[in-house]
Amino acid sequence: MRRTWGSGILAAGQYASANVLLLLGSISLLVGGWMPFAVIILIMVFGSFADEVSGDDWDRLGDRARTFYNVNLYLALPLMCLLGVTLALYAREASFTERPLQTIGAIWVAGYLFALVGATVGHELTHRQGWIPQAVAHVLLGFTLNTSFVIYHVHVHHRRVGSYDEASTARRGERLVAFLGRAVYGQYAQAAAVEAERLRRKGLPVWSLHNRFIQALAAPLAIIAVVALIGGPFALLLFGLAALLGRFFHELINYVQHYGIVRADNAPIRPRHSWDCYRRLSNVLHYNLPRHSDHHMFATKPFWRLDTAEDVPMLPYGYQTMATFALVPPLWRHVMRPLLVDWDARFASEAELEIIRARGWDNI
């Protein structure tokens, strides 16, 4: 029987790790020089190693520390704004021609944290009701220029996950580059279509301020305006590159979460339609998002209530390690091929097996 240990200080406090990284990222931009690379090494090299050696965490957090968890989530907003401001201040003092590698480090650390914290906490708050969590989600997702996610994720992804035309489900054998183009375009297009249909049902004009897709532009435009006021055109350039890099990292995780999994049209969503990962650091930094099958079964569960399961599709390594493998297609295929064979044998329904055979995916 699993322990529930969310009342412990250590168990609760570890979920502040992402915000600590935001602080370190902001400090590194203020210090300048090679400090952003030091934070990158801490996160991406040491972090990946620590994730693998720390092993899996099968415990479920309890509700006793829920106040801390909620405060920590909302604390991400001012810390993300601080990171954006420090990037703009960095741009005022930086010169790409004089320090190109150091500037790349600044873009990299900001973009990575825009995704790790902005997209992850924005995702958590997207599933909550009320104007405050929704407004905070929009601002956090604005740092990756992806505020239409609030519409798309709830009304498309959670209803059509695993379907062939669902933009954030990576098809079996689909290369990362092809997925990125299809995912970014498809998510915007599908979110816009969902909102247009909602307005038509209400008898409201699509091209109006009633359109939530248009309303969602307010957050990224406000961020862009503040960055420009602080740091001028060069700050806008650095922010734009960091935002695009952050969106890349976000979609890289999307690629990993459902790669190759198939769901028959109109079939109920089941735990088998997501890859789970229980590495401790992956779950701490992503607010238990790697417990993905439970999230898809119970989308409104706050992250501290998400549970593990014994018999679900499992990734063999942590999120960051798997994302690194995805950048090397031959290695990615080598790692995923036996997992897909196992998924077909143990989890796929007859209808899903028929889809796999009809598309020639059984040999991938």
What per-residue string of b and e applies to 89-117 under the rule 16 or more CB within 10 Å gives b?
bbbeebeeeebeebbebbbbbbbbbbbbb
Q: Under a CB-based contact definition with an 8 Å cutoff, are residues 322 and 345 in contact?
A: no
Close Cβ partners of 21 (under 8 Å, ≥ 6 residues apart): 39, 43, 113, 116, 117, 285
CA within 13 Å, CB half, 70: 9
Task: Please report which helix (H) or strand (E) contains residue 42, including its range.
Answer: none
Judged on CB neighbours under 10 Å (0-12, 13-18, 19+), 55 is exposed
Q: What's the confidence (pLDDT) of residue 97?
A: 67
What confidence tens digit (pLDDT) does each residue in 88-119 have? Answer: 999 998 777 678 899 999 999 999 999 999 99
pLDDT bracket for residue 364 (50, 70, 90): confident
Q: Is the pTM of this model over 0.75?
A: yes
For every residue of 286-314, DSSP letters joined together read: TTTTT-HHHHHHSTTS-GGG----SSS-B
What confidence tens digit (pLDDT) does each residue in 148-184 have? Answer: 999 999 999 999 999 999 999 999 999 999 999 999 9
Task: Please report which helix (H) or strand (E) contains residue 49, including its range.
Answer: helix 47-54
